[in-house]
Amino acid sequence: MNIPDNLFYTKDHEWAKIEGDSAKLGITDFAQSSLGDITFIDLPKIGAKIKQSELYSTVESVKAASDVYAPLSGEVLKVNDELINHPEMVNKSPYESGWFSIIKISDPAEKDRLMTSLQYKEYVEGLSK
Amino acid sequence: MNFLPHTESDKREMLNVIGLKSADDLFKDIPLNLRPKSFDLPQGKSELEVVKYLKTLAARNATHLTNFVGGGFYDHYIPAAVDALSSKPEFYTAYTPYQPECSQGWLQAIYEYQTIISELTGLDVSNASLYDGGTALYEALMMAVRLTGRKKVIVDSGVSLIYRTMLYTYTSNLSIEFIETPVVHGQSCREDIYKNLDDKTAAVIVQNPNFFGAVDDFSDIVEAAHKKGALAIASVYPVSLGILKSPGEMGFDIATGEGQSLGIPLSFGGPYLGFIAVKKEHLRQMPGRIVGETVDKDGKRGFVLTLQAREQHIRRERATSNICSNEALCALRALIYTSLLGKAGFQELAKLNYQKAEFAKERLEKVPGVKVKRSSPTFNEFTLELSKNADKVVSQMIAKGFACGFPLGRFYKGLDNYLLVAVTEKRTKEEIINFAKSLEAALCS
Amino acid sequence: MEENIDLAVTPLVDTHKNLGAKLAPFGGWLMPIQYSGIIEEHNWTRANAGLFDICHMGEFAIEADLSKSNLGDLLTVNLKSMPEGSCRYGFMLNEMGGIIDDLVVYRISEFKWMIVVNAATTSTDEAHLRKYINSATNLENISVHLGKLDLQGPESRSLLQGLIAEDLELKYYTFGYFNLLGENIIISRTGYTGELGYELYMPNKKIPELWEKILTDKRVKPIGLGARDTLRLEIGYSLYGQDIDQNTTPLEAGLEYFIDWEKEFIGKAALKKEKEKGVPKRMIAFASGSRRSPRHNYRILYKGEDIGSVTSGSFSPSLGVGIGMGYISREVKTGELVDLVEGSVSINAKVVNKPFYKNGSAKCERVKK
């Protein structure tokens, strides 16, 4: 299970990469593995305002649809259009080319509510027991 | 006659006539689970692969060993003409060639074969052959049982254990009482035979030469048997009949034996050739096919299968036997072989065998650790008593390039150090001398 | 992952674990859902060949002389006309015409039959049969010892031919006996994927050996139930428990073809009535214009009106769009548009004729890739 050090994580298996006052968002390796082949991603619109812990995207795999929650609040600056026709990129590269969106962070303090890579690792290990 | 397989349209036409859609419909009565579409067979191999595979198997035969093993099956020289003539397609591929209108060639060949067996054994009539010496002996036994109506049989233990076992196996569901009499100093023990011979005895069975290679004149036993109304049966080695007194001369009622020595290769156990010859008065109880001589409607000499009322396809329950076949090709080879040798040649062959064996005996006597058993005369096979276990010696001798003989301990209790050695016309003086040298080395170590 | 110790396992459960399969409960069994991934397995089956562990399904061995036995009364299949070596798909119905199970009947001989049923319903099927069969019918549940592997895909014939020396000749929906690995087994040319394929019925003790033997050929990969579902859905096959159940009749499911109206069977009266009155619901198939897929229970809206619900829905790997089937209470013509809705999700889809995927090789005699 791949859990890069430089990211922050949520209990619902989303990740955030903080770059200055913006953050790149996506779902973790654990999430893509559990979902299986991803067939469709419902991405937010540019300009949309999302709130931490609230639903902002849906991921569909062959068998099911899964809700994706925002790790941080902010305004959507960019979305990964590649995923429209190639949702499988999320399976192949959940942390790099499989990114969902880039937001402008509205409340940097929210970062404290996220897990570090170590904490997320422990959390994930606890889940498989 | 050419062989032409059915074409697809032939098949369709035939199916039409009988009103079926496919050949599969002919098997409808067999349940589906007994008609599997495949049989867990390996994939087919090409001709090249098959030849390679068979060669690998054949290479496992130790054909390089100089052969001194007998025990009923002998390494005689087979002239090339035997293969050449018996391979002619008219002989080789004919199946059950007994319709007289188109098989006169085959029928004559069998008739001539019968004649040769009759002459060799000194008995009046012979048949078109049986499967091998063992089943032939069984058929002789059953003839005696039918002819006398009796169920007790005396079997000399000089008769090969292989044949004795076959007799017991074939008759295991009949209530035949077997009495085995011992061989003492290589000879059949008359005392024991006469002790058991009575008016309940159907037959006395002996072998000449016996399994130890010992030769005997059984005329006295034959006479004793006849006095009690029993039949006398001898299992004989045909090549030995080139110089030995024949079973006919000894008065035997039936002679049987293994015809492998008459132009048939050893072939790891078969096919072999059973022969049987009987006194004229027993003709109607002799089993198997018989070819007889007759004349056709134009008065010309011809050959046919005869006396078929003995056989099971004519009289099922009253048939003399269930055998309805013979070893035609092997019988043909025996005929070609003996014809090539001729009477004189056959006698010379027998003499050569005898002489080389005698030479071997003398040479082996000089080997420390070897005692040549000389209590009886022998033909081309004799018994040695060794200073070591014979099976061990056999293994050692294989390493030296010799199949040195048959360890008698395998067939007889207490004879673990005894070795049965056969010497045929194929064994050269050099081979015999080297054999003796190697045996000496083997016994020393 | 916690394993429910009440789940049954097939002889291949350890094999699947070693292959890294994701296992999950299905019909009371712990089954492999996927190995390398559902889409990859699905595509591989359509292009090459896939091997499926289907040991969980149930089988009954039946002895019935049709002149004395009432077996025919329990099934919608026309048993009398079945030649030896043939297979027929059909149903076991309740008195209301509802489907107790869908099944395939195999005729082994004049009096010998095998019926193959779904895993989750094997017990209820057996109970139903035993309740109704007469004394001239002998029924044995052979599921415990008999396993099944499905080999499906355009390469399946060539693959199977590699295992047997004789010519593999099986017409669609027929079967024969084959000696494999020392057993005399049934192989039928049947399947659930729409591709050329075979079902192999092998005693459980030899299943692992057969599995390994088939997989030595690199043209075939192991396939899980996930891909099995997308494969069957693309052909429009119903899944018992999802598209058909005791509350659905074959008429409603659009499967009248598999009813033999010429004979008596349990549920016939109810079906006849339904046929006269008209079905209260009917099955439709639809394909979305996007990768977005409808799911089970989504509502079906026609011009804003709620007319039914989705029974099976999934992404179709072969077509690249979401597809599904469901039941509606009024007729909607092929080509018309419907909306598949749940919560905030609304997927626009076109009503289509099954099969969704039209290039299946199932009936091919000469397969081209």
Nearest C-alpha of chain A: how many angstroms from C25?
Answer: 14
Q: Test B39 with C179 for CB contact under 8 angstroms.
A: yes
Per-residue pLDDT, B142: 96
In the block, tokens 């004793």 appear at: B224
Chains linked to B by 3 or more Cβ pairs within 8 Å = C
Nearest residue, CB atoms, C226 vs list A63, A88, A128: A63
Q: Using CB atoms, pick whichever of C37, C291, C322 lies closest to residue A36.
A: C37
Give B41's DSSP letter: P
Longest CA–CA separation in chain C, Å: 62
Q: Distance, in angstroms, between C161 CA and closest chain A CA?
A: 33
Chains B and C touch, using 3 or more CB pairs below 8 Å: yes
Residues C116 and C89: their CA atoms lie apart, in Å, by: 10
Q: Does B44 touch chain C (CB under 8 A)?
A: yes
Give tens-digit pLDDT for C321-343: 999 999 999 999 999 999 999 98
Q: What integer pLDDT is reported at residue A53 of this predicted model?
A: 93
Note the pLDDT of residue B319.
Answer: 76
Chains within contact range of chain A (3+ C-beta pairs < 8 Å): C
Sign of CA pseudo-dihedral A95, A101, A104, A106: negative
Determine, for residues C177 and B32 on separate chains, whether the beta-carbon distance falls below 8 Å.
yes
Q: Which chain A residue's Cα is nearest to C314? A: A62
Distance from C-alpha of A108 to C-alpha of C267, rounded to nearest angstrom: 67
C226 part of contact set with chain A, CB < 8 Å = yes
The count of C-alpha atoms lying within 13 angstroms of the C-alpha of C16, restricted to the half-sphere facing its C-beta, is 25
**C22 touching chain A per CB within 8 A:** yes
> Quick check: bond before C355 cis, omega within 30?
yes
CB contact under 8 A, C178 and B36: yes
Say whether the A–C interface has 3 or more Cβ pairs within 8 Å: yes
- The pTM score is 0.71
Out of C34, C293, C317, whose CB is closest to A40? Answer: C293
Question: Do residues C259 and C270 make contact, with C-beta atoms less than 8 angstroms apart?
Answer: no
The CA distance from C159 to the nearest CA of chain A, in Å, is: 28
Could you report how far apart the first and last alpha carbons of chain C are, in Å? 40
Kindly write down the DSSP assignment for every residue of B301-356, as one continuous string: EEEEE--GGGSTTTSTTT-S-S-----HHHHHHHHHHHHHHHHHHHHHHHHHHHHH
Q: Distance (Å) from the C-alpha of residue B39 to the closest C-alpha of chain C? A: 5
Give the other-Cβ count within 10 Å of C266's Cβ.
20
CA-based nearest residue to C202, from C157, C163, C166, C153 = C163
Please determine, for the modelled complex, whether the ipTM score is greater than 0.90.
no
> Nearest 5°: phi and psi at A74?
170, -170
Distance from CA of A112 to the nearest CA of C (A): 31
Please check whether residue B21 touches C, CB under 8 A.
no
Q: Say yes or no for a CB contact (<8 Å) between A40 and C226.
A: no
* % chain A with pLDDT above 70: 99
| List of chain B residues with pLDDT < 50 | none
The secondary structure element, H or E, covering residue B236 is strand B231-236
Cα(B102)–Cα(B152) distance, integer angstroms: 45
Question: How would you class B110 by CB atoms within 10 Å of its CB: exposed for 0-12, middle for 13-18, buried for 19 or more?
Answer: buried
List, as own/partner pairs, every contact residues C10-19 make where C-beta atoms lie below 8 angstroms and the sequence separation is at least 24, other chains included: C10/C53, C10/C55, C10/C56, C10/C147, C10/C204, C10/C207, C11/C55, C11/C147, C11/C204, C11/C205, C11/C207, C11/C208, C12/C53, C12/C55, C12/C207, C12/C208, C12/C211, C15/C208, C15/C211, C16/C53, C16/C222, C19/C222
Does residue B209 have a cis bond before it (omega within 30 degrees)?
A: yes
pLDDT at B1: 60
Is A91's CB within 8 Å of C230's CB? no
d(CA B379, CA B350): 8
Give me the helix-helix angle, C225-235 and C38-47, nearest 10°: 60
Segment A35-64 shows an average pLDDT of 90
Q: How far apart are CA C193 and CA C234, in angstroms?
A: 8
Q: How far apart are CA A35 and CA A61, in angstroms?
A: 6
Q: Rounded to whole angstroms, how far apart are CA atoms C70 and C138?
A: 11
Q: Which residues between 82 and 121 in chain A have a beta carbon less than 8 angstroms from any beta carbon of chain C?
A: 87-88, 91
In DSSP notation, A30-73 reads HHHHHH-SEEEEEPPPTT-EE-TTSEEEEEEESS-EEEEE-SS-
**Residues of chain A with C-beta less than 8 angstroms from the C-beta of C22:** 36
Choose among A58, A60, A62: nearest Cβ to C38.
A62
Give the chain C residue nearest A33 (alpha carbons). C37
Identify the CA nearest to B348 among candidates B244, B424, B419, B242: B242
User: B401 burial class (0-12, 13-18, 19+ CB within 10 angstroms)?
Assistant: middle
Beta bridge partners of C175: C188
CA torsion angle B433 B435 B440 B445 (round to 10) = 150
Round to whole Å and give the CA distance between C53 and C147.
8
Size of interface B-C (CB pairs under 8 A): 53
Chain segment C243-284, per-residue pLDDT in tens: 999 999 999 999 999 999 999 999 999 999 999 999 999 999
A19: tokens are 């770059």
Per-residue CA distances from C296 to B198, B406, C233, C242 (Å): 98, 84, 13, 8
List Cα–Cα distances, B187 to B246, B362, B420, C33, in angstroms. Answer: 18, 21, 15, 83
Helices and strands (H and E) in chain A: how many: 4, 9
Hey, of C2, C23, C39, which one would you mutate to test binding to chain A, going by the most A CBs within 10 A of its CB?
A: C39
Q: B52 and chain C: CB distance < 8 Å anywhere? A: no
CB contact under 8 A, A37 and C295: no
Kindly state the average pLDDT of the residues C30-40: 96
- Among candidates A36, A64, A87 on the partner chain, residue whose Cβ is nearest the Cβ of C291: A87
User: Helix (H, G, I), strand (E, B), or coil: what is residue B402?
Assistant: strand
pLDDT at C368: 47
The set of chains that have 3 or more CB pairs under 8 A with C is A, B
pLDDT tens digits for range A83-103: 998 999 999 999 999 999 999
List alpha helices for B65-154, DSSP H.
80-86, 89-92, 104-121, 133-148
Chain B residue nearest residue C186, CA to CA: B33
**Using CB atoms within 10 A of its CB, is residue C67 exposed (0-12), middle (13-18) or buried (19+)?**
exposed
Q: Is the dihedral of CA C308, C314, C315, C318 positive or negative?
A: negative
Can you read off the two tokens belonging to residue B335?
A: 């005929």
B22, B32, B45: best mutation site toward chain C, by most C Cβ within 10 Å?
A: B32
Report the SS3 class of residue B188. strand
- Which two three-digit tokens encode residue C246? 């005791």
> Comparing C-alpha atoms, which of A34, A55, A41 is closest to residue A89?
A41
For residue C121, give both structure tokens: 């319903």
Under 8 Å between Cβ of B234 and B208:
yes
User: Which residues partner with C101 through β-bridges?
Assistant: C92
Residues B301-337: b if buried by 16+ CB within 10 A, e if exposed: ebbbbebeebbbeeeeeebbbebeebbbbbbbbbbbb
First and final CA of chain A: distance in angstroms?
15
Which residue type, as a one-letter code, is found at position C322? G
Predicted pLDDT of residue C369: 39
In three-state secondary structure terms, B282 is helix
Element (H, E) at B392: helix B390-399
Which residue type sits at B124?
A: D
**Reading across the β-sheet that carries C49-53, which strands appear in turn?**
B38-39, C175-180, C183-188, C197-203, C146-152, C49-53, C220-223
Residue (of C148, C279, C277, C276) closest to C201 by Cα position: C148
**Three-state SS string across chain C, please?**
CCCCCCCEECCCHHHHHHCCCEEEEECCEEEEEECCCHHHHHHHHHHCEEEEECCCCEEEEEEECCCCCCHHHHCCCCCCCCCCCEEEEEEEECCCCCEEEEEEEEECCCCEEEEEECCCCHHHHHHHHHHHCCCCEEEEECCCCEEEEEEECCCHHHHHHHHCCCCCCCCCCEEEEEEECCEEEEEECCCCCCCCEEEEEEEHHHHHHHHHHHHCCCCEEEECHHHHHHHHHHHCCCCECCCECCCCCCCCCCCHHHCCCCCCCCCHHHHHHHHHHCCCCEEEEEEECCCCCCCCCCEEEECCEEEEEEEEEEEECCCCEEEEEEEECCCCCCCCEEEEEECCEEEEEEEECCCCCCCCCCCCCCCCC
Separation between Cα atoms, residue C39 and residue C37, nearest integer Å: 6
Give the pLDDT score at C2: 54
> Residue C165 and residue B37: Cβ atoms within 8 Å?
no
- Taking the CA of residue C193 and the nearest CA in chain A, the distance in Å comes to 17
Chain A residue with minimum CA distance to C296: A64
At B95 the pLDDT is 74
pLDDT of residue B197: 97
3-state DSSP call for residue B265?
coil
The Cα B142–Cα B287 span in angstroms is 10
Cβ-contact B415, B250 below 8 angstroms: no
pLDDT for the residue A96: 94
